[in-house]
Amino acid sequence: MIGWGKGGKTFAGAMAGTGKSVAIIEQSPAMYGDTCITIGCVPTKTLIHDASERREDDDPQAFFDRAVARRDALIGKLNDVNLHMLADRDTVTVIDGRARFVGPREVEVLPTAGGAGVAESLRVTADVVVINTGAEPVIPDVPGIDGPRILDSTSLEHVKPFPRRLAVIGAGPIGLEFASMFRGFGADVTVVARGERVLPDEDDDVAASVAEVLEGDGIRLLLGTTVTACEDGADGGDLEVDAVLVATGRRPATRDLGLEAAGVDVDERGNVVVDDQLRTSADGVFAMGDGHGHGQQTYLSLDDNRIVLSALTGDGSRRLSDRAAVPSTVFLTPPLSSVGMTEKQARDAGKSVLTVSGPVAGVKAMPRPKAVGDPRGLIKIVVDADTDEVLGARLFHVDGQEVINLVALAMRAGVTATQLRNGIWTHPSSTEALNEVLGQLA
């Protein structure tokens, strides 16, 4: 197993449980537990929560320092738990170092610069090798982008001093999450993006609602704007800030893995090419996680583990193509959750479409957001006019990250829009908005 990862650690534990000898190679002990636990989902959402708790008179630097300390304490515990869940098993060997293929199902592990892992190179061979190396930030080719105050989503979590003025390059999910977070901590935030609107993959009305909330929170949006250079100094240029976050996407971390030596094919973006069971072009080599181009979410990595386990120890029935109605959330305040098609995608696919859409503040049968003091946002649901199937939903409201899972399950189970409309939900909750919103279709 090359790389920890959600799917990787689960798969390694399952294979060890069958009596197999397992080696898991991780280039950094700080990454025991995967990107999600160590630098991604959990630490950033911890910071987002704390940012939402800050009061106007709280000093931004002191408040941020306390939040980072809490983040670090939590991640330290999770990191240790993740190490011992594998290292304490008799048939699992944890190896710290940088792996590179030197032949079919054979990797060389090199010491990591400055690390405390292997003292010299060693080689590991196996009947099965899983590539699980995750993804890394994309850094655009802009003069000065390597300056000392140019940060990515990992380094920004420990930025010192706290930037009173922050520029975010990129208006996708990662950029907007950090923009919202640092605005909550008290920074003046400017989002710069080449596109004409935030979240370019979403429908216009959804993107407009998000932009309205961001601007209402005091975030400046410079859209249709190209960054031509970053200059470090007292006079920063057209936009003067204390730090810059580069959030222009992530790419598979597959460079320098020696994949050609193993006979593993990659596509033009560096994704490992896999079949429907996550087999690569090399016999006995599989890929999991963010590096194969089929979604970069920790819960998809977990499902990758199920697919490979099915192929190796089960009946082989699980497939990548079985996935349907996979939900996701951008953790703004309030969160934006989505599943399935946008209205545009549904119409482009030739569907006969009905849509219901409206501001959360206008939904009478949804007192929960009003009760917690945040009735902002939008609900939009796309329904097949011929079959009454839910084709997609965008829930931009308090508790949206939970309600979207119900809608996704309904879509997978064939529950119709009418059945969701007539559902009996707890009160007061955000879920009961489905009664009123879907009632517009009646």
Short-list 140, 202, 192, CA closest to 166:
192
Short-list 167, 364, 160, 134, CA closest to 250:
134
Q: What is the distance between the alpha carbons of residues 42 and 422, in angstroms, rounded to a whole number?
A: 35
Three-class DSSP labels, 48-75:
HHHHHHCCCCCCHHHHHHHHHHHHHHHH
Task: State both tokens at 402.
Answer: 């939970």
R_g over Cα of the chain:
23
Q: What is the distance between the alpha carbons of residues 425 and 433, in angstroms, rounded to a whole number?
A: 9
Which residues, at least 6 apart from 152, have a Cβ–Cβ distance to it below 8 Å?
A: 137, 139, 245, 246, 247
Catalytic residue ranges = 427
Give 134's strand partners.
none
Order of all β-strands in the sheet with 378-384 = 328-330, 336-340, 390-396, 378-384, 353-359
| Beta strands 129-131; 285-287: pairing state | parallel
Short-list 237, 439, 202, 227, CA closest to 339:
202
